[in-house]
Amino acid sequence: MNNNFNNLEPIEKDIVNYLKNYCNGLSHSISNEALAAKFQMDKRTLRSLITHLIVFHDVPLGSCSRNHSGIFYVSSQYDFEVAHREIISRIKNLSKRAKHLRLGYYESIKDKQLQLI
């Protein structure tokens, strides 16, 4: 893992440094709203930036929607497990949603085809 983060843009470095210093671990997480306000950006831009940092720069950032809701710098095995479990849960929910979208769509097509007969 690249923990040097030298190839980050200035705003990316600022966010990583802030999270690493002030939001280190689940118990110190910060809400999306508060972090977006701190760096004067909208929540959608912040979410995209966080995803970019994780996917393209291997920055260990986690999020949780339960007890300590928010974004945090992953600094322990426990933090990792919580962040990983959160992602897996979201994947399962999105997969279920995609399945039912597909079923609903094909059911509606079938109904239209039956009407044409």
Instruction: Name the pTM for this structure.
Output: 0.82
> pLDDT class for 102, splitting at 50, 70, 90?
very high
The parent domain of residue 46 ranges over: 10-116
Q: Is residue 62 part of a domain?
A: yes
Residue 2 lies in a domain: no
29 is a domain residue: yes
Instruction: State how many domains the chain has.
Output: 1
How far from each other are the two terminal CA atoms of the chain, in whole angstroms? 60
Residue 5 in this model has a pLDDT that exceeds 90: no
Residues 74, 20 contacting (CB under 8 angstroms):
no
Q: Looking at residue 76, which CATH number applies to its domain?
A: 1.10.10.10
| pLDDT, tens digit, 9 for 90 and up, residues 49-61 | 999 999 999 999 9
List the structure tokens of 9. Answer: 């843009």
| Rounded-to-integer distance, Cα 39 and Cα 57, Å | 20
